[in-house]
Amino acid sequence: MSGVTTVSLLVVLFVGTIIGALVGMLLGNSIPPDAPLAILAGLTGTVAGAVARNALVDQGIGVGEYEAALPTTVLLFAVIASFVGSLAGLELALLLHEPFPVWIGALAGLLSSILTGLLVISYHHNPTR
């Protein structure tokens, strides 16, 4: 994996975590700190991270040898993976005894973005595509 691919994956992780925390912070008072908040924060973080990554790739920033905008199928799988990452973030927040909405959102966004990053890596290193 080249250095620029690492940069684009770090963008996904950073944006996903920040957006997830912001969603948790903004919606924490209106939605109980439970599964719906985690799923909404993780889904929003994942989508924002993927959009930020695709925007960088479209502009030629952080473009490696095999770097390309992600197809819709991979983005659909990322949305599905965000449900798993979001619920894992909720469980991690509960295990750490930090069930605050901002922590739930940040962990849901981070773990969802990690799963999205794994999808991106497997897509780029698939010899059959």
Domain range spanning residue 22? Answer: 3-124
Domain assignment present for residue 129? The answer is no
Identify whether 38 is part of a domain. yes
Tell me: pLDDT of 30 over 70: yes
Q: Does residue 16 form part of some domain? A: yes
Look at residue 39 and tell me if it is in a domain: yes
pLDDT above 50 for 1? no
As to burial, measured by CB atoms within 10 angstroms (0-12 exposed, 13-18 middle, 19+ buried), residue 19 is buried
Range with the poorest average pLDDT among 65-69, 70-74, 75-79:
65-69
Q: Is the pLDDT of residue 79 over 90?
A: no
Number of structural domains (the chain) is 1
What is residue 121's predicted lDDT score, i.e. its pLDDT?
A: 79
Q: Are 116 and 16 in contact (CB under 8 A)?
A: yes
pLDDT of residue 126: 64
Write down the mean pLDDT value for the chain: 83
- For residue 107, is it within any domain? yes
Residue type, 72: T
SS3 12: helix
**Dihedral sign from CA coordinates of 83, 86, 88, 91:** negative
